[in-house]
């Protein structure tokens, strides 16, 4: 399995008993740890030794994350998309 690396600055980090999560400066949440019942939010139950992006929240801009015993929760908002107008 290929390991990924968080390439943006980490702006929030939380570590629980079995899971950890970080938020990067672009609002992407990354999680790692034990994943017996899908608690990492990655769509499977594979344990992760390295951070993996939580792609289900890609359309959101996460601002905060908190981890508990075997769960993670996050706060955020819909990512805003700026439309550019071209002159005609």
User: Which pTM does this prediction carry?
Assistant: 0.82
* Confidence at residue 28, expressed as pLDDT on a 0 to 100 scale: 94
- Residue pLDDT, tens place only, 34-86: 999 999 999 999 999 999 999 999 899 999 999 998 889 999 988 765 545 55
Please tell me the total count of domains within the chain. 1
What range does the domain containing 33 cover?
Answer: 10-73
Asked whether residue 47 is assigned to any structural domain, the reply reads yes
Asked whether residue 2 is assigned to any structural domain, the reply reads no
CB 26 within 8 A of CB 5: no
Question: Distance (Å, rounded) from C-alpha 53 to C-alpha 30?
Answer: 4
């Amino acid at each position: 399995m290929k390991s990924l690396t968080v390439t943006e600055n980490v702006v929030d980090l939380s570590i629980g008993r079995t899971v950890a999560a970080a938020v990067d400066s672009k609002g992407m949440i990354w999680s790692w740890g034990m994943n017996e019942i899908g608690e990492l939010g990655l769509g499977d139950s594979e344990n992760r030794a390295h951070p993996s992006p939580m792609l289900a929240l890609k359309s959101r801009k996460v601002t905060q994350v908190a981890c508990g015993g075997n769960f993670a929760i996050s706060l955020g908002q819909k990512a805003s998309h700026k439309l550019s107008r071209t002159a005609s």
